[in-house]
Structure 1
Amino acid sequence: MPQYLDGRRVPFDSTDPNSTGRVAVIVLFSAVVAMLLLMAPAAASQLQLQLALSPSQTGDLFAAELGAMSIASIPALWWMKKYNLRTMSTIFGTIFIIGNIGSAYIGDYGTLVAVRFLTSLAGGSLMVLCMSLAAQTRDRNRVYGLWLMGQLCFGAIGLAVLPKFFDTFGIGIAYWVLAVLMMVVLPLVRFLPQRNIFAGRAGAEDSVPTPNYALRATLGLIALLAFYVSLSGIWTFLGGIAGASMIDNETSSVILSIATVLGIAGSVGATVLGARPSTRINLLVGYLAMTLSVALLAGIPGVLRFTLAALLFKFTWTFILPYLMATLSGLDRSGQLVNLANLAIGGGFALGPLMGGRLVESAGGYGTLIAVSVAGLVLSLVLILVAQPQRTAAANSTVAVSHMVE
């Protein structure tokens, strides 16, 4: 409905955290920013071929991008409270556009790393803002589900389409697509408030401080870190586990491609369910299923067992994450805790492969890695259940989706 400001008719209320425009900002900004990292296998192969990069150089390049997106959480704690959000988002979006266009024409490795770091720092700032805004919505489970689903869909489309153009246009086509997509979505900044409004439209129950907030927040962040360390260690070496089980590369590639689709389905499931029957139950079921999927990889799984494990693993990964994020935002509706969650996610993504590689080398196989990942998931489950706020998100299940996007 039209709103009125100082007697003037305006088409939307930019201060409404549940408006359609606000949800669109959260979903589309995040999807564009994360797209390259979600199509990293294809982009990494093209970079190695086109720029003659070694595996370690390629890994360092993507580590710089991921590290910049994580580091963006730290200054965001300051600028989100001090400056106009629309202005800052426009600045970061413009840097993201210029950085990607410039990346398409850079042939020097050192220069490319520096430009990609700055570009990802701007993109990470937008990602942190989106995560903070999602924490201020009524139905956080569903919004985080949409937030994740948008990223997965953009990443899947990028993986399916862009590599077909690499032979003609090189890796530059990927950078140009990112720049153009940001140009398209950047006008959505008009749906942002000029200043960060901490859950101004949330119910009175959300304004009550969470008992033992510091302890619960710490446990929640550790749970998120353990979750990402466990899953990224396994995901990185799924191909190696398939090879050790005498499953050929072509077969394992098909299985992992199907698993990516199941990942989208997992986020859709979380979006549809919301907080029904309850966040605790959904977390419990999701974690137990994910732990089972990792355990199925033990020994020498055949094609059938490996397929079941990979599909279940990817589905539960994206099913659990929205509830993890909703738990953290339920502890702090201002979004500040969710900013720190971005650090935990990036740290987990970096530590998982680092830990996994050393465990595989020291054990001469994947058994120890699988056991450690199972233990990490169990630890994460226990911690996130303990961290649950006393007023769980179940109370939000009575809020219709139409209210979220009115």
Structure 2
Amino acid sequence: MNDNAESLTGQPAGAENSLGNISSIFAAAAPQGWMASLLLAFLSSAGLYYVNIFPVIVDSLMAGAGLSAAQAGEITFANTIGAVIGAFTISLFVKKIPRWKLAAFALLLCSIGMDVLTIMLANLELLIPLRLVHGVLGGALVGLGFAAIARSGIAGRTYSMVLLVQYTGGALGLGFLPDLVTRFGTYVPFYALITFSVITLAMLPFLADYPLPSKQKEKQGGEKETLNAKVAMGPMLITLLALFCFQFANMALFAFIFDLGKSFALPLSFISQTLFWANLIAIGGAALAAYTGQRFALTIPLGIALLVTLVGLAMFMFSDLKPMFIIANVVTGITWAFCVPYLLTMASKFDAAGQMGAFGGFASKMGLACGPLLAGYFISGGGSYTQLIAIACGMLAVCLLALPSAARLDKHTI
């Protein structure tokens, strides 16, 4: 506790001043406690919260601003490709950022500024550059968060908490924002983004520092990587590929889920309520991942979840039946919340400094960016949602290639 207080204030923990009391409050979150997992989860979710309410953003831009599916896809692509750029850049330099919390503070403030400008300017022509910059900032922020998680010693649990926070926030957004958009206009979702960022900003001082590993630990880690280089490289690349394909397949459908439902003659109110409850239920997937991740090896739980996800995606082909649409959303929501923490945990196992964890975030965001973009062009080009579902199933099948990598990681300490 005292060490944390000193690192946050730059003064001895016992100093007789008001800053000492403040720092002791800020150090209240034990570095490896459940509260720390929650705070890290908020930090790692703030830069990408827009992904969880993509359907609302896309639908509000298409219905409220009169954009086509392709145009809406371009804007969401700009936001997420910016996140890819930010995540990739921060992945290269994360080992050289000792004061990562100060960097996170600046990124959060700038992200809020981009959302404010989006609302104030209310200019559709400026949406793409504004959301691109917002994405770069958000991607860098998530990369910092993932690197901190990888160094925290509680990565498996915390990645699950990330999904728990995202699905809870997504459920609230999908449940309430569509009605608010109808009442108050197209830019309501961006107020939600500002709110989430402000909450995260208030939480940031309570996090521990999670410093970079000492040179001795890095040297030991380097020796270990050299011994297992041939084993490590294959699982690492396949894990990144699986993350990309998994996020691509799910987001290609999720970003257009309102329009998908409408194409099957489902009413908007039914779609909104289905997504609200499906996201709430999906929280159980993140909780289950937190439980199994600490008690079982990677391979079997991940393999089962990937197969169930594949079945869930295929069920969307029968969305004209309301029960099938509900089940498909619930099943894929649970497995999405379950699989992503597993894949991110696999990526974080490759180094002690958190660089591979940050690269895992990069691969994940690349999938999130490409899915809506290509899906938007596909639908605008005359493709059907049934065909898009089949494509998504094919992409998800590629993720099964990660199972041998998970088996190797279960056998080797990398």
Please report the TM-score for the alignment, with normalisation by the length of structure 1. 0.80
* Aligned mates of 2:112, 2:384 — CA distance in 1: 43
State the Cα distance separating 1:227 from its structure 2 match: 1.7
Partner of 1:404: none
Take 1:351 and 1:78, find their aligned partners in 2: how far apart are those partners?
A: 22
1:347 aligns with 2:374: no
Question: Any conservation in 2 of the 1:277–1:394 contact (CA below 8 Å)?
Answer: no
Aligned-pair identity (%): 21
For residues 188 and 364 of structure 2, the distance between their equivalents in structure 1, rounded to whole angstroms, comes to 28
Paired residues for 1:4-403 under 5 Å: 5=6, 8-9=13-14, 11=24, 18-19=32-33, 22-48=36-62, 51-83=65-97, 84-166=99-181, 169-190=184-205, 191-193=207-209, 196-197=212-213, 208-209=224-225, 210-211=228-229, 212-235=231-254, 251-297=270-316, 302-353=321-372, 369-381=388-400, 383-388=401-406, 390=408, 392=410
Structure 1: runs of 5+ lacking an equivalent:
396-406
Provide the C-alpha distance between the structure 1 equivalents of 2:36 and 2:50, rounded to a whole number of angstroms: 23
2:308 is matched by which residue type in structure 1?
A
**Contact (CA 8 Å) 1:63, 1:350: kept in 2 or not?**
yes
The 1:280–1:64 alpha-carbon spacing in structure 2 relative to 1, beyond 3 Å, is same
Is residue 31–residue 154 contact of structure 1 (8 Å, CA) maintained in 2? no
Deviation readout 1:250-269 (Å, 9 max, x if unpaired): 55554444322232221122
Output the CA distance in 1 between the equivalents of 2:109 and 2:46. 13
Question: Aligned equivalents of 1:248 and 1:178: distance in 2?
Answer: 26
Could you tell which deviates more after superposition, 208-217 or 250-259?
250-259
Contact 1:294–1:309 at 8 Å: present in 2 too?
yes
Question: Partners in 1 of 2:28 and 2:411 — Cα distance?
Answer: 25
Rounded Cα–Cα distance in structure 1 between residues aligned with 2:40 and 2:411: 20
Change (3 A) 1:192 1:266: same
The 10-residue stretch of structure 1 (23-32 or 188-197) with the greater mean CA deviation from structure 2: 188-197
Check conservation: 2:213, 2:352, Cα contact below 8 A.
Answer: no
Q: Tell me the distance in 2 between the aligned counterparts of 1:97 and 1:246.
A: 37
Contact 1:295 1:374 in 2 (8 A): yes
TM-score (norm. length: structure 2): 0.79
Q: Displacement of 1:393 after TM fit?
A: 9.7
Query: Please, which runs of 5 or more residues in structure 2 have no aligned partner?
Result: 15-22
Cα RMSD for the two superposed structures: 3.9
- 1:385 maps to amino acid: L
Q: Distance in 2 between matches of 1:214 and 1:67?
A: 26
Whole-angstrom CA distance in 2 between matches of 1:296 and 1:199: 51
Quickly say closer, same or farther: Cα 1:281–1:206, change in 2 above 3 A.
Answer: farther
Q: Which moved more, 1:290-299 or 1:100-109?
A: 290-299
Specify whether residues 31 and 391 from structure 1 end up closer, same or farther in structure 2 by C-alpha distance, changes over 3 A only: closer
| Whole-Å separation in 1 of the counterparts to 2:29 and 2:96 | 17
Are 2:91 and 2:143, in contact at CA under 8 Å, matched by a contact in 1?
no
User: Secondary structure of the residue that 2:352 maps to in structure 1?
Assistant: coil
Rounded to whole Å, the distance in 2 between the matches of 1:59 and 1:364 is 15
Moved more, 324-333 or 188-197: 188-197
Distance 2:265 2:181 in 1: 31
Distance change (3 Å), C-alpha of 1:162 and 1:248: closer
Displacement after TM superposition at 1:387 (Å): 1.7
Displacement of 1:337 in angstroms is 1.7
How far is 1:380 from its partner? 1.0
Shift of 1:354: 5.2
State the shift of 1:92 in Å: 1.0
Query: AA paired with 1:154?
Result: G
Q: How far did residue 326 of structure 1 move?
A: 0.8
Question: Offset of 1:217 from its aligned partner?
Answer: 0.8
- 8 Å CA contact retained: 1:137, 1:199: no
Counterparts in 2 of 1:267 and 1:198: CA distance versus 1, 3 Å? farther
- What do the CA deviations read for 1:259-280 (whole angstroms, capped 9, x no partner)? 2223222112212333333222
Sort the Cα spacing of 1:233 and 1:55 in 2 relative to 1 into closer, same or farther, 3 A: closer
**Contact 2:246–2:395 (CA<8 Å) still a contact in 1?**
yes
Q: Tell me by how many angstroms 1:150 deviates.
A: 0.7
SS at match of 1:141: helix
8 Å CA contact 1:16, 1:201 repeated in 2: no
